[in-house]
Structure 1
Amino acid sequence: MKFYFTTLLVAFFLISCKNDKMSDNKTVMENNDNQPSLVGVWQMVGYYNYNDNKIVDSFMSSETYKQIKIYTPTKVMWSRLNKQDSTDWFGFGNYKITDNTLTENLVYGSNTMNKTIEKNNEFNFELVLNEDTYNQIELDENGDRILSENYIRIE
């Protein structure tokens, strides 16, 4: 299992270092400042759990657990497949990026997600954005890292 995780982690970092020279894709992946952009389609590849701002555990996505996020210049939509759970999970709303922060304001979602949205529709994350990878990191009330969702660009 350790070898499998190490192999996936190395593959993840290699993908994140990929430098795509194709000009057609560069327009979609970068904004006017030649900075990476979230605009596109992303697939979650795994999670990191943190303790004292250090990664203490990780979980990789699988064929039975998938999550896809789609970003336009102003909108976000995500859906989650968990074949071991009959609960539907999806959400739609607006987002904005400031410095290294991603804020998603969800307008509606699945019945399960709507219960969460009724209590709080704003989700703030630390954002680590590269050309073909990004991490949205949940912080606690002290600003310490709790959980990271890790994504790769698929389109």
Structure 2
Amino acid sequence: MSYKILVLSLAMVFISSCKEQDQKATENIETEEISEINKKGLNGTWELVGFYNYKDNVVLDSFSNNTISRQIKMYTDSKVMWCKLLKTDSIEFFGYGSYNYNDDGLTEVLEFGSAFMNEIIEEQQEFNFKLELSEDRFEQIEIDEDGNKIYSENYKRVE
């Protein structure tokens, strides 16, 4: 009788340990997927899809970008470049520089750009935004001197 109890106990321990390993493996896979998303961050190619205007930190109105122009942003580990195609005008419009970001902020420091952008860069090289980032979307939000949201550009990941 004690032999049967011993075998049954060993079988239960074995089954229990298999379930525990399966649960740990599943948790590890989920953690790796989340880490991969976080590691990816802003790296990649993004397309501007729309804008928000804010009042009292609440979206007042929004509009799509597809009828006005087309804008693409590309981020590497340390550099940013964006270009804009205006459907009504063939004038070049782009900027290039470096960037850094954290959980809620994005800073772009432009080095040069199109003729129009170079005029702006002469006055201001550094652009600071509040950042709301998810796996396939991000919003760069302009903040006023009191920390209130004013306006945002909203992007979706292309690659």
TM range (shorter): 0.7 to 0.9
- Tell me the TM-score normalised to structure 1 length: 0.76
Identity in percent: 49
Matches within 5 A, 1:1-155: 27=36, 29-31=37-39, 37-62=41-66, 64-155=68-159
Distance in 1 (CA, whole Å) between partners of 2:80 and 2:142 is: 17
Runs of 4 or more, structure 1, over 6 Å off, are none
The answer to whether the Cα contact below 8 Å between 1:64 and 1:81 also exists between their aligned partners in 2 is no
Give the secondary-structure state (helix, strand or coil) at the position aligned to 2:88. Answer: coil
Deviations 1:42-66 (A, max 9, x none): 0011000111111111110115511
Which protein has the larger Cα radius of gyration, Structure 1 or Structure 2? Answer: 2
For residues 63 and 50 of structure 1, do their structure 2 counterparts lie closer, same or farther at Cα, with a shift above 3 Å needed?
Answer: closer
Query: What RMSD over aligned residues (CA atoms) do the two structures have, in Å?
Result: 2.0
Which AA in structure 2 matches 1:76?
Answer: V
- Tell me the TM-score normalised to structure 2 length: 0.74
The answer to whether the Cα contact below 8 Å between 1:44 and 1:151 also exists between their aligned partners in 2 is yes
Q: Which runs of 5+ in 1 are unaligned?
A: 1-20
Q: Which runs of 5+ in 2 are unaligned?
A: 1-29
Deviations 1:47-96 (A, max 9, x none): 00111111111110115511100000000000011112343210000000
Structure 1 or 2: larger helix share?
Answer: 2
Aligned length: 128
